[in-house]
């Protein structure tokens, strides 16, 4: 299968998951995770109409962004060290890995200096795995309160990574919990505005994530091969 075929197949699977769960496919966007692909392949996926591009390290993203930056919307999905914030703010439209106060403070500072706002997803470690980043579900509300006054951060939603499961169905409780946490965050009015986004679902488990309400799917290997 070539890239076009794999994209068509993934879109079909998303549509089927939407149909099963009574969702409108227009509520969802695919972010093509290009971290393991070349500049040429990244250009191809843009040409195929996927305009959201995700990368997890600035070193790997740099050439792609410098060449293709204006053609898409850029998402930073990897763990972000505080000293790398300067590379990302002003270039990436979304940061999916906001997971600690020191990082929020640094993004706020850099965004203020550039007089821009940065869309951020708060990463939540729903599964509690030691190897995963993110605030704990219990710590989410305190964290959101701490950053609520930061005028250059716009909280676009919540993000999580489910454990890799042989049976994707096993990830469902993780995605369901993230959706419930979004509801609770809004019900408590921790932020001055409603938080709408759910960044969840990867190649192995995106259909389950769609069924549980994902609005942003982060797809790598299902599009580009492994
Ligand atoms: C690499 C990566 C993805 C894409 O993973 P695939 O399994 O290849 O779809 C999604 N989200 C994050 C945070 C990643 O690091």
Answer whether 161 contacts ligand 1 (Cβ < 6 A).
yes
Answer whether 75 contacts ligand 1 (Cβ < 6 A).
no
Query: Hey, what are 98's tokens?
Result: 């906001």
pLDDT tens by residue, 105-152: 999 999 999 999 999 999 999 999 999 999 999 999 999 999 999 999
Ligand 1 pocket check: which of 10, 29, 33, 224 to mutate, most ligand atoms within 8 Å of Cβ?
A: 33
pLDDT tens by residue, 16-40: 999 999 999 999 999 999 999 999 9
Question: Rounded to whole angstroms, how far apart are CA atoms 162 and 43?
Answer: 29
Buried/exposed code over 64-86 (b: 16+ C-beta within 10 A; e: otherwise): bbeebeeebebbbbbebeeebbe
Helix (H, G, I), strand (E, B) or coil at 104: helix
CATH fold of the domain at 3-224: TIM Barrel (3.20.20)
Ligand 1 atom with the smallest distance to the CA of 206 is 9
Nearest CA residue ID for atom 4, ligand 1: 220
Strand partners, 155: 120
Closest CA to 41 of 221, 202, 218, 204: 221
Ligand 1 pocket check: which of 52, 77, 207, 210 to mutate, most ligand atoms within 8 Å of Cβ?
A: 77
pLDDT tens by residue, 168-224: 999 999 999 999 999 999 999 999 999 999 999 999 999 999 999 999 999 999 999
**Cβ-count burial of 166 within 10 angstroms (0-12 exposed, 13-18 middle, 19+ buried)?**
exposed
pLDDT at 226 over 90: no
Question: What does the domain layout of the chain look like in residue ranges?
Answer: 3-224
User: What pLDDT is recorded for position 1?
Assistant: 82
Between the CA of residue 144 and those of 18, 93, 100, 103, 189, what are the distances in Å?
30, 20, 10, 13, 10
43 pLDDT tier (thresholds 50, 70, 90): very high
pLDDT tens by residue, 74-115: 999 999 999 999 999 999 999 999 999 999 999 999 999 999
pLDDT at 160 over 90: yes
Treating both helix axes as pointing N-terminal to C-terminal, what angle do 101-113 and 140-147 enclose, rounded to 10 degrees?
Answer: 20
Average pLDDT over residues 144-163: 97
Ligand 1 atom with the smallest distance to the CA of 77 is 13
Question: Rounded to whole angstroms, how far apart are CA atoms 215 and 201?
Answer: 9
């Amino acid at each position: 299968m070539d890239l076009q075929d794999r994209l068509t197949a993934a879109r079909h699977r998303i549509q089927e998951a939407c149909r099963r769960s009574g969702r409108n496919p227009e509520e969802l966007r695919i972010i093509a995770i290009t971290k393991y692909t070349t500049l040429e392949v990244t250009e191809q996926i843009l040409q195929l109409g996927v305009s959201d591009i995700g990368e997890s390290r600035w070193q790997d993203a740099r050439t792609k962004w410098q060449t293709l930056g204006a053609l898409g919307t850029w998402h930073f999905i990897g763990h972000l060290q505080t000293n790398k914030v300067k590379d990302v703010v002003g270039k990436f439209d979304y940061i999916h890995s906001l997971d600690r106060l020191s990082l929020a403070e640094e993004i706020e500072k850099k965004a203020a200096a550039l007089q821009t706002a940065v869309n951020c997803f708060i990463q939540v470690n729903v599964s509690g795995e030691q190897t995963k980043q993110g605030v704990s579900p219990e710590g989410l509300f305190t964290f959101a309160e701490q950053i609520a006054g930061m005028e250059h951060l716009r909280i676009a939603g919540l993000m999580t990574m489910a454990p890799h499961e042989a049976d994707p169905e096993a990830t469902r409780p993780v995605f369901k919990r993230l959706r419930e946490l979004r509801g609770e965050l809004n019900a408590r009015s921790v932020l001055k505005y409603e938080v709408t986004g759910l960044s969840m679902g990867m190649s192995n488990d995106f259909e389950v994530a769609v069924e549980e309400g994902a609005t942003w799917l982060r797809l790598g290997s299902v599009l580009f091969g492994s």
